[in-house]
Structure 1
Amino acid sequence: MQQSKQLRIIGFITLIVAIALVGTIVLKTKGIMLEAETSSSGTLEKTKVTIITSDVVADQSWGSLAYKGQLKIEEQFPVDVTLYSEINTDKLMLQTVNTAIQDGSKLIIGHGREFSDVFTKAALINPDVRFVTIHGTAKHPNQTVYTFDQGEIEYFAGLAAALKTKTNKIGVLNPTESGDEYPEFEAGLAYYKPEASIYTKVVGSRDDGKKAVQLMKELLSEGVDVIYSKGNSYNRDVIDLAKKEDVYVIGYLDDQSYMGKEHVLTSVMNDVSQTYVAIMNDFFSEKGLNSGKVILNASHGVYSLAPFGPIFTEKEIQFMKNEMKKYEQGELTFP
C-alpha cells in the first residue's frame, strides 16, 4: 500500500516535470521564432527619400503631382518618404536639403527645374546623396534629371486646334517664360493650317487663375478662338471663361474635359507621378541611377493625348486618328 502511494507521488512529480519541460521548450521556440521574425524584418529596412516641391499640395496643383508620386512609390518600393511643400526660395530649399540629409535621406527629389541650382551646390559637398530633379540641369555625378518630351502628341493637339479655329488665331498660356516651349504644337498647327498665327502669354505661375483670366481676355480681344492652356490649377478659371465666351481650350496635365465637355477639344496629359516610379525603378536597379539626363517616353506612361471631345464630328476624329497612326508608322513627319 505504501509502495503504491509512493509510485503515485513519483508519477505525479514526473508529470509536473514533463509539463514544465514541454512548456519551457514551447516558450523558447516561440522566442526563437519571434527573434527570427524581428531579424528578418530588420533586413527590409526602408530607404529614406525626400521630395521637395515649391508649390502647394492642392487639387489640380503642380504640387499635388508630387504627392501622387509619393503615394505611388510608397506603395511599390521599400521607401520612407517625406514630402516638403511650398519650399519656394533658395534659402528654404537649402535648409530643407540640409534637414533631409541630417534625417538620413539617401535620395532627394526636386519637383521641378527650380531646384537645379541649389541641388548642384548641395551635390558637390554631399557625394553620398543622390539628387534628382524633374526637368532642369545636372552637373555632378550624383545628380540626375528626369525629363520627358510630350512633343509627339502636341503635333496632334495642334491638329485639333487647326480643325476648330475659325479666326486662324491660336493662343497659348504658358506658366513660365523659360520652360515648356511648344515647337511641336506650333509645327503641327503650321502643317495642318499654315495660315494660322500663334499668340503667347506668360502667366508667371502655375496656379494664378486671376492673372490667367486677365491674359486670356487679352487674347480674346485679339481674335483668338482656341487656347492651349499649359497651366495647372489656373486651367479651371480658363475653361470657365471659355464656356462664357464660347471659345475652345486644349487642356493640360490630365483629361480636363470634365470641366467643360463642349469647350475642351482634348488635353495633353502628363502623369508626372509616373516619373517617380521610373526614378525608383532605376534607383533600386543593379546599375542604380545614371548621372546626367534621362528622357522618358510614352512607354513610361508619363504622357498621352486625352480622347477628342464631342465638338468633333466622327469624320474629324477618324481623320485625326489616321494621322496619328501614320506618324506612329513613320509615314508622317513634320518639318
Structure 2
Amino acid sequence: MTLMKSFLGAAAALALTSGTALADPAIIFDLGGKFDKSFNESSYNGAERWKAETGGSYRDVELQSDAQREQALRRFAENGFNPIVMAGFSFSTALETVAPDFPDTKFVIIDGVADAPNVRSIVFKEEEGSYIVGIAAAYAAKGDTVSFVGGMDIPLISKFACGYAQGFKSVKPDGKVIVNMTGTKPEAWNDPVKGGELTRAQKAAGSEVVFAAAGGTGLGVLQTAADEGMLAIGVDSNQNFLQPGHVLTSMVKRVDNAVYDAFMQGEDLETGLFVMGLANDGVGAAIDEYNEALITPEMKAAMDDATAKIISGEVVVHDYMSDETCPAFDKPGE
C-alpha cells in the first residue's frame, strides 16, 4: 500500500487519482461526511445539481481527520482539477499554504476566509437566519425558555446561538435561552448521543424548543426532541422532513448555491470575498409540507416582518464574530 493510500485511505486515494480530467471541478467534504443531512450534504446537493444540469463530472473526497486537509487539497490541484471547493472553515490554514503554489487554479472556501488572489471566500450571515428562527421559537414556546445545542465550541457556532437569542428576545425580552456546546474538538460534529443528552437536560431545565447547529450531532438533537415532545429547529440543509411534525423549521444556509455557482463558473470563477445573507437568499427559514402546520399566521407574519426590516437595515442583528460578545447573552448559561 502506498504512503498516500495509507494516509488518506484507499477510497479517498481512488477519488483523487482515477479518471482525472483537466479542468473538472472537485470538492472536499469536511469531517462528518457528505451525507450528514446538514452542511456537507448541502454542499453535495449543489455539486449534484450542477452535474445533473450540465452533464459534467467532478471528483470528491470525504476527510477522516484534520491531518488530511493539506494533502487532499494539494493532490487535487496537482491533478488539474479546477475549481476546487472546500466545505468548511477548517481548510483556511491548508488553503493559505497550497493556493500560492497553484496560481492558475481557482479555490473556493465555504465558511472561511483565505487571503489569496486565486481564492473565493464565501461567508454567511448566519446571525440573520438564526434571528428569524428565534422568532419562530418564541411564538411556538408556551413558556419563556428555549435552548441551543452547538457542535464544536467556536465563534462561528456562537454566531448562530447569538442570532437565535436575539430573535427570541425580540419577542420575549425576559425569556431565557439555554446554550450548550457539544465539545471543543472536531469530534463534536458527530456525536448524536451527546446531542441527545444535552437536549434532555435542556428540557429538564424548561426548554420547549431546541435549535441545533451541530452537524451530525444535530441528528441526535432532533431525534431526542421528537421523543421528548419538544420542537426542534434544523440547520444548514432543510431538515424538516427528518422528524415531521416535530421540526418547527430549519435555518437553511444555501451552501448548495455556493457550490453550484462555483462549479458553473469553472476556471472563470470570480475570486474575492462573497457574503450571503437574507438579502440575497443566502440564509432563511424553511417552510414546507413537513412543518407548515406548525407555522401559525401570527408567527409567519412576525418572521416576514423581521426579514424585511433586516434587509432594509431597520433591524441590525449583532454578529458574534465581530467582537465575540452577544447582547442577548446576559445570564449564566446564555
Shorter-chain-normalised TM-score: which range? Answer: 0.7 to 0.9
How many angstroms does 1:279 deviate by? Answer: 1.9
- Larger Rg computed on CA atoms: 1
Please state if 1:89 is matched with 2:72: no
Q: How does 1:62-211 map to 2 (within 5 A)?
A: 62-76=39-53, 80-90=57-67, 92-178=68-154, 179-180=156-157, 181-182=159-160, 183-204=162-183, 205-211=188-194
Please state if 1:258 is matched with 2:237: no
Residue 156 to residue 208, structure 1, CA distance change in 2 (3 Å): same
For residue 240 of structure 1, what is the amino acid of its counterpart?
A: Q
For residue 327 of structure 1, what is the amino acid of its counterpart?
A: K
How many angstroms does 1:48 deviate by? Answer: 2.4
2:212 equivalent among 208, 221, 229: 229
CA RMSD of aligned residues (A): 2.8
The alignment partner of 1:133 has SS state of strand
1:9 alignment partner in structure 2: none
The alignment partner of 2:120 has SS state of strand
Residue 117 to residue 191, structure 1, CA distance change in 2 (3 Å): same
2:198 equivalent among 210, 215, 220: 215
Contact 1:323 1:332 in 2 (8 A): no
TM normalised by structure 2 equals 0.75
Q: Can you list the C-alpha shifts for 1:246-286, whole angstroms capped at 9, x where unaligned?
A: 2221222333333334332222122321111222344455x
Please state if 1:327 is matched with 2:306: no
Q: Can you list the C-alpha shifts for 1:95-138, whole angstroms capped at 9, x where unaligned?
A: 22232122112322111111110010011222222222101121
Q: Which of the pair has the greater relative contact order for Cα pairs under 8 Å at 6+ separation?
A: 2
The alignment partner of 1:262 has SS state of coil
Contact 2:47 2:263 in 1 (8 A): no
Contact 1:87 1:93 in 2 (8 A): no
> Matched residues in 1 for 2:304 and 2:111: separation?
32
2:263 alignment partner in structure 1: 280
Task: Among all aligned residue pairs of Structure 1 and Structure 2, give the percentage whose two residues are the same amino acid.
Answer: 19
Contact 1:47 1:79 in 2 (8 A): no
Contact 1:264 1:309 in 2 (8 A): no
Contact 1:123 1:131 in 2 (8 A): yes
1:295 alignment partner in structure 2: 275
> Matched residues in 1 for 2:280 and 2:316: separation?
24
For residue 70 of structure 1, what is the amino acid of its counterpart?
A: A
> Matched residues in 2 for 1:130 and 1:139: separation?
13
How many angstroms does 1:155 deviate by? Answer: 2.2
